[in-house]
Chains A and B, each alone.
Chain A
Amino acid sequence: MKQRSWHINRREFIRGGGAALALPFLQGMSWGKAAGEALPKRMVVSYIAYGVYEPKNKDGSHHDWSWWPCKDAGPLTFNQSAAPFAPLKDSVSYLRGLEHAGGIGMGGHSSGDVFATGANMTEFEMTNNISVDQFAAKVNGHKTRYASLVLGTEGGTGSYGSAKTLSHYGPSRPIPSMHRPQEIFNRLFKPYAGKGIEQVRADLKREASVLDLMMEDSRRLRSRLGKEYQQKVSEYLDSIRALEKRVERTSQWTHQPLPNVDTKGLNLEVSHKDPEEYTRCLYDLLYLAFQTDSTRFATLMLESEQSQGSEMWNYANYVLGYKGATHDIAHKRPKESGQWDNWRAKQHAYFLNRLRNTPEGDSNMLDQTVVVWGSAHPHASHSTKNYPIQVAGGKALSFRHGNLHSFDGEKKVPLANLFVSILNAVDAPTDKFADSTGEMTL
């Protein structure tokens, strides 16, 4: 991308100003946390699309522009592509040789659907299934104002086979991702839209009784309908019920003060045409949601596998001046490929650094947050095997880092095992998720 003086300067101004200008400015911490309560345990799943660059040097040495930071299992060293993570060495791990068996039959451009769910959509879970963040949110979501936060760069749910979200409540219940910074901010931090708290409570109370009536009437309606309609109206009823619960929850949370978040330095009007600013804005919002303990479980679909028709299609061009579409950079593998991976790594490292630089308890926020970053479309060839997976953070939740782990062996280890470990680490105990066969110790 061309250097734009105003642009860089502004960023320097925002980011380089040290703690006093930390973006954005926050007043106080620990919103609504009862004294003595344990520190929050969080999880993020984030997704990059169209595979990563995995060239091999002829002499057997590790390629400088491979997405993988080093060649052999063991302690991490960082090549050029993964260099942004070098300062985070003791907080990241790379996992090689993992995938979801359920995604294998889907083709690279569809397997992103199941990255966070591990569902077998080609055979017996046609409408996908619950995602790992929602599994945790069901158990612990009540502890925060919002059970979870679902972000994406393209917004909505997408269709089966071309999801624009990573999160699902369960079969045939995709959760639309939010992609407009201003809207995300408002939903997180301005839920009362400027109304006074008494007014909000009165509104909620009234809303609850109206929803009750809506529920009653829809039940009556359902009983009168033919079978073919009942299913749809049931879907509607479930949604009304969920809404009722939300109203109840919102009412309870009105007794906790809203976090006071200053938007200074946060460009919520950022254009999709400015990849770095936009991507970081999403990361910043996610960071803020965590910092204010508004939620603890989040997904972030940084790119979808079907981004034709959105600006993501042009990101490789905007960032690197690459002449083709973002998708093509994966197929054609020109020399820019490594730089593209490197750019994505920089953005993710930015987020991890922000978490790490924020003290929490005796350590920092990153140690309380497990962050998965990777793709279900690993290579140029529409492959659905051997995902690129990086796990970061969560050191206070029993995760150990600094190594490349290889699972290339005979006995296949499901990626879902990682999810089981994460769920247990964030106090959503389970011994099974999707096709897991056990836990994964890092």
Chain B
Amino acid sequence: MKSPLLSVRIAPVIAWAIACVSLVGKALAGEIPAGKSGFESHIRPFFETHCVECHGPDKSKGKITLHSLDGDLAAGRELERWELILDALKHQEMPPEEQENRPSAADRNAVVKWIESSLRDYVQRAGKDMVATMTRRLTNFEYQNTIRDLLGIELELAKDLPLDPNKPYHFNNTAELMMIGPDQLVRYKEAARKAMASAIVDPGKPDVYQARADWGHDKPGKDGLSQAEIGVYQGPGVGRKTVRLKSWPKTGEFRIRVVASGNFPPGFQEVPLRLVMGTDLRHDSGAGNYHEVGTVHLTNSLDEPEEFEFRGRIENIPVQPASVHRNKRRPTSITITAQNIFDNGELNDHRKSGFDASWSVKAPRVVLQSLEFEAPVVDRWPPEHHTRILFESPLRHTDNGKYAYEVIKRFMTRAFRRPVAREEVDHYHRIYKIYDVEFDTLEQAMRETLAMVLISPQFLYHSVMDQTAVTKPYELASRLSYFLWGSMPDKELFELAASGKLNDPAVIETQTCRLLADKRAAGFVENFTVQWLSIAKMKTVNIDRDLFPRFLYTVHVGERRGQEVLFRPTIRDYMHEETVGFISEMIRNNANVMSLVDSDFAFLNEPLAVHYGVDGVHGLKLRAVPVKPEHRLGGLLTQGAVLVGNSTGSAPHPIYRAVWLREAILGDKVKPPPAEVPALSDSVGDSADDAVSIKNLLALHRNKESCYDCHVRLDPWGIPFERYSAIGKYQPQVPKDNVRVRGFNHQQDSTFADYQAYLKSIYTEEVEATSRVPLGPDVDGMIQLKKYLLKERKDEIVENVIQRLVSYSLGRELTYHDRFEVERLLKLAEKGGYRLRDMIVSVCQSPTFTSTTTKN
């Protein structure tokens, strides 16, 4: 048996040597008879020779045992376990590399083949009936989008619903997790009422609320700026101007018109003006709650002021509650804040003690001459979202009852995403009658009635199909739209469903491409990417501001000095957009899926480009930028969202990064640390105060037997990332072992040159980033790791992407039933040159996706 103290480096050599000289067990090369006889004659002896010692009656490592299997796969028993064994053998994870008595490749392949074909036989025989498709409720993301497309107004309703379950590297649309409890239903009811209160307006013209403010560019303001100018800084926060609203309608669309231009010092051509609305934003205490209205990138200069229009829904705006201050009552209010969110990646270069107002003058300014608020917008009244439901019809005046029935039916057809049965409409019509008696207007009664439609199971669940309706094509239409938009089908999809043409593979292809090209697909890409790559945690990693003083844009003055400037987009927001935008770009260009590992472009804006050391990118808008070798970029592995999210905030974390690589890219399932395993520092010594290089730490950790089994398969994947720092920058040097580094001191290290000198003083040792990847060669650093992945792990990576897409599109975890369909899709992808958009198309055409639960 292996010695736990054998270092990883030596182990494989020995294992290899032993494998060459010993041929223990029965030779299996060639065909193994199918079924039970093959199991008895070949498989069982193979297990007994190679596996049962660790996975049998005495030991059950990883809680897997093989000795009790009866080999009768045709009976459909224990198939999950068989699939695990199959994968472990196929990917050569088992028997472990360091095991002395490993089977020959031929033997292993024969066993793999036997299990695979037995499993395939079973799956084919069991057919589709066995595929457990569970219906599931809409996720909050889907709920909000569906309401948006159903009603034609953007309301932020999901924030009032209980959060969806969320598990790293898993999609939150998994059927088993999508439950509805009473608390959930209460919130749905409230959200539905809120939505209908906005969708249907009261009869008559509404009062229009207005507010306006003007600023003079000819009048002097603070810090060398004019009264109309907004600089980058203002006190402890972002430069801003505010307008306080004292009254506004309860519901409705608002419009804000600003007249603005940019004041550009030499070398600058663009300045971003962002509007947010909500409570007072307290830069000193951090209190504040806002909704982003929009951003314009101003390029027009002072002498050409232009008018810009922003729109939004007043319902989404947080309101400042009334308060009493020094015995004076302040009524509720909403503050419109206009911000200058200019960022060229150098905001923190100016770390002088005290407030450096000069930077505001050196950087481009927004010149805001006026701001005008108006709500509701009454250009057309009643608004479109109202007439979409309460449509114009003479019926309304001649036969009120019939009109109401028709309104309900039309609404339900769209809300249920399919034709509705008569009984279904009758039901809501009965509800309508209850309301009709009690309310004065049709509008009021209809709001309540339609709100009940929005808490019906047919609305809240995916494809709850009443068998009386002809629904199969509609189910497919919904599947497509919820996959690629996270929302209900549009008119075109409904029409295709109605005409029965949707099931045609060519039509599916056209539709898939159309849906992906639509702006609604942005939601899909973000939702899918964030969950698949598990990048959300990046935003809360606590960055060590002593070690990385320039990464975050920090406050220079006041109580919050040294902390991050609030209420403005940060480099981390841009990193999030970078990764999501990168995947969007791949889909848009139908790029080779291996671009995930390495690509000839990066997706950057100016702050990101400065962070990564790429020249010539200006402005805040993200775009594809060609990468050169010296940038050391390309693919996901070097993106900030991945590297920062999987660091400790002060140092890289090779284990987090290894888990990320295996889960997100290679598609492995990495088990969490088991109970009673000592933590990293405990297995080294009492304290982690002294810096010990992580590589040495891990080596110590691995030498404990309890840690060895997992870490030997984990650590090597993380080590090659070591030259990328906790903030995702290429940093080939680190502090010396066992030395406490001094933190950054911005009085002592005040200039840029001081900062460089400081870095030099702490980062003195070359990083070691060499490890031997499991079953692979020695890999030194990122470039070699990428090369290795591209060359040797392509199938695994592509298969992983296919699995993710299929799993997300179906809203369930995949099982052994899907195995052979994934295999087929993989072959198809190979034939097509691994193009990502093509792969999405074939997923949508796949029988697993198109087979619906209802009979046509």
Contacts and interface: CB of A to CB of B under 8 A. Distances in A.
A270 B185 contact: no
Given A206-B435, A271-B286, 4 more contacts: A160-B177, A228-B132, A313-B537, A332-B681
B648 A328 contact: yes
Interface in B60-83: none
A334 B179 CA distance: 41
Given A176-B184, A224-B468, A308-B540, A107 B179 contact: no
Interface string B284-295: 111111000000
24 contacts: A106-B675, A155-B163, A156-B163, A160-B165, A169-B181, A175-B183, A202-B438, A210-B452, A213-B430, A214-B455, A221-B458, A232-B461, A235-B179, A236-B460, A242-B181, A246-B182, A274-B286, A313-B541, A323-B544, A325-B541, A331-B680, A381-B678, A382-B675, A382-B677
B438 A380 contact: no
Contacts of B133: 228
B166 A236 contact: no
Interface stretch (A2-10, A22-30, A338-346, A363-371): A2-10
Interface string A212-238: 011011101100111011011101101
Contacts of A334: 687-689
Contact of B540 (A175, A236, A314): A314
A325 B649 contact: yes
Nearest to A264: B324
Interface string B270-287: 000000000100001111
A164 B677 CA distance: 24
B675 A311 contact: no
Nearest to A154: B163
Interface string B419-450: 00001100100110011001000000000100
Contacts of A251: none
B164 interface: yes
Interface residues of B, number: 81
A105 interface: yes
Given A106-B675, A206-B434, A217-B427, A175 B181 contact: yes
Nearest to B426: A217
A406 interface: no
Contacts, number: 224
A191 B569 CA distance: 36
Contacts of B457: 218, 221, 232-233, 236
B682 interface: yes
A213 B448 CA distance: 14
Interface of B: 132-137, 160, 162-167, 170, 177, 179-186, 189, 279, 284-289, 321, 324, 423-424, 427, 430-431, 434-435, 438, 448, 452, 455-458, 460-461, 464-468, 536-537, 539-542, 544, 546, 559, 648-650, 672-682, 687-689, 853
A270 B177 contact: no
Nearest to A312: B540
Interface in A358-401: 380-385
A161 interface: yes
Contacts of B163: 154-158, 164, 176
A48 to B, nearest CB: 18
Contacts of A274: 285-287
Contacts of B559: 2, 4-7
| 4 pairs of A and B residues whose beta carbons are closest in the complex | A156-B163, A176-B162, A242-B182, A159-B165
Given A235-B180, A243-B185, A309-B536, A384 B675 contact: yes
A189 to B, nearest CB: 14
Given A206-B435, A224-B467, A156 B164 contact: yes
Contact of A325 (B284, B465, B542): B542
Contact of A209 (B189, B285, B434): B434
A154 B537 CA distance: 14
Contacts of A118: none
Nearest to B439: A206
Given A105-B675, A309-B536, A159 B181 contact: no
Contacts of B424: 217
B463 to A, nearest CB: 9
Nearest to A193: B190
A63 to B, nearest CB: 13
A308 B424 CA distance: 45
Contacts of B180: 235-236, 239
Contacts of A157: 162-163, 165
**Interface class of chain B by DSSP:** loop
A13 to B, nearest CB: 13
Contacts of A414: none
A31 to B, nearest CB: 23
B675 A229 contact: no
A174 to B, nearest CB: 7
A11 interface: no
Contacts of B165: 156-160
Contacts of A324: 542, 648-650
A279 interface: no
Contacts of A213: 427, 430-431, 434
Nearest to A7: B285
Contacts of B466: 221, 224-225
Given A155-B162, A158-B165, A220-B423, A382 B676 contact: yes
**For A4, A111, A182, A236, which residue has the most chain B Cβ atoms within 10 angstroms?**
A236
Contacts of B167: 159, 161-162
A269 B648 contact: no
A311 B541 CA distance: 9
Contact of A232 (B132, B135, B184): B135
Nearest to A267: B287
B449 to A, nearest CB: 9
B673 A107 contact: yes
A258 interface: no
Interface string A159-191: 111101000010011111000001100000000
Nearest to A220: B423
Contacts of A323: 542, 544, 546, 649-650
Contacts of A385: 675-676
B390 to A, nearest CB: 20
A317 to B, nearest CB: 5
B162 A314 contact: no
A274 B272 CA distance: 30
Nearest to A172: B179
Contacts of B649: 323-325
A6 B423 CA distance: 64
Contacts of B688: 332-334
A440 interface: no
Interface in A399-424: none
A107 to B, nearest CB: 5
Contacts of B648: 324-325, 328
Nearest to A270: B287
A267 to B, nearest CB: 8
Contacts of B455: 214
A232 B133 CA distance: 12
A172 B165 CA distance: 13
Nearest to B855: A226
A202 B674 CA distance: 56
A270 to B, nearest CB: 7
A300 to B, nearest CB: 16
Contact of B542 (A218, A271, A313, A331): A313
A230 B136 CA distance: 12
A142 interface: no
Contact of B181 (A161, A173, A232, A308): A173
Given A213-B431, A317-B542, A239 B185 contact: yes
Contacts of A182: 321
Contacts of B650: 323-324
Nearest to A163: B165
Nearest to B462: A232
B679 A381 contact: yes
A232 B136 contact: yes
Contacts of A243: 182, 185-186, 189
